Chains A and B, each alone.
Chain A
Amino acid sequence: MSSFQSWANMGGYAAFVWPAYAAAFVVLGGIAVQSWRRYRATLRDLERLQRSPRQR
């Protein structure tokens, strides 16, 4: 077994270690992306409102 394979195998606990890291990454990364996208949306919305106040 190469050293990468033995590392990825996590001493036989790969089926638990990697899903744990993946869960943390997906949940925290997910809320980070969602927060950022909503923030950008409010910036665009404000820009639109302030550019054409008379149409609103």
Chain B
Amino acid sequence: MLTRLANPARFMRISGVVLVPLGLAAVAVLAIGLYLALFVAPPDYQQGESVRIMFVHVPAAWLALFAYLVVAMASALALVWKHPLAEIAAQAAAPLGAAFTFVCLVTGSLWGKPMWGTWWAWDARMTSVLVLFFLYLGYIALANAFDDMARGARAASVLALVGVVNLPIIKFSVDWWNTLHQADSVFRMGGPTIDPSMLWPLLIMGLGYLLLFKTLLLIRMRTALNEAKARALRLAASTRHPAEPVPDATPVLR
């Protein structure tokens, strides 16, 4: 699957077919998820209606971690096999991961204030997720910091791989340290402890976020490939007529 898709021309063909259905599925699943989250799921016996923040907060955390895995695995593929699509995938996923991490932090803060009495605490879970956010920003900055795009991509890939160490820290922070943050209640040994009436809306919101991530990932990868094609066309045109000035020869901003 991965190797068959790992050809830019074939990727453009397949992603072009998949893009619209995937986007429509994302919108539909998110609509169902929001309906369940806001109207169907019951209030929590301790937290009351504030528990509804969970349905936008927890899936954002899942996607923050998942997107980082995508960035890191694509970076590894780029470093070892030097495949151009891998770098494009990593750089397309990073801003999406940063967005999900930001949503996770903001909604968590809005949940923490009424439930814990504080917007923020420097506990292990929150601090490690903040570090994840900065890793994303560092990756994006580094990838765009060099005039030579290949050099920037290589440096950013190394950073992405080093940053993988943060993922288990985030995941197990609530077990390893005493955190204000509660322990996992969905993806844990022995199965979920959360009630099904809340688990289902949560999983559907998670699926909606995942479909949104995949749709935007394809769009951003296609954008990057289009930009590369435009650069190649401009370069070819300018070498064919070297005497003529090329008005639009600046590469498209990445």
Contact = CB atoms under 8 A, between A and B. Distances in A.
Interface of A: 7, 10-13, 16-17, 19-21, 23-24, 27-28, 30-32, 35-36, 38-39, 42-43, 45-46, 49-50, 53, 56
Main secondary structure of the interface of B (DSSP, over half): helix
A38 B219 CA distance: 9
Given A19-B110, A35-B219, A49 B52 contact: no
A12 to B, nearest CB: 7
Q: Which has the most chain B C-beta neighbours within 10 Å: A28, A45, A49?
A: A28
B138 interface: no
B32 to A, nearest CB: 15
Interface string B83-121: 000000000000110011011001100110110000000
Main secondary structure of the interface of A (DSSP, over half): helix
A18 B155 CA distance: 40
B24 to A, nearest CB: 13
B226 A45 contact: yes
B50 A50 contact: no
A11 B106 contact: no
B103 A45 contact: no
A21 B100 CA distance: 13
A23 B48 contact: no
B230 A17 contact: no
Q: Which has the most chain B C-beta neighbours within 10 Å: A13, A31, A42?
A: A13
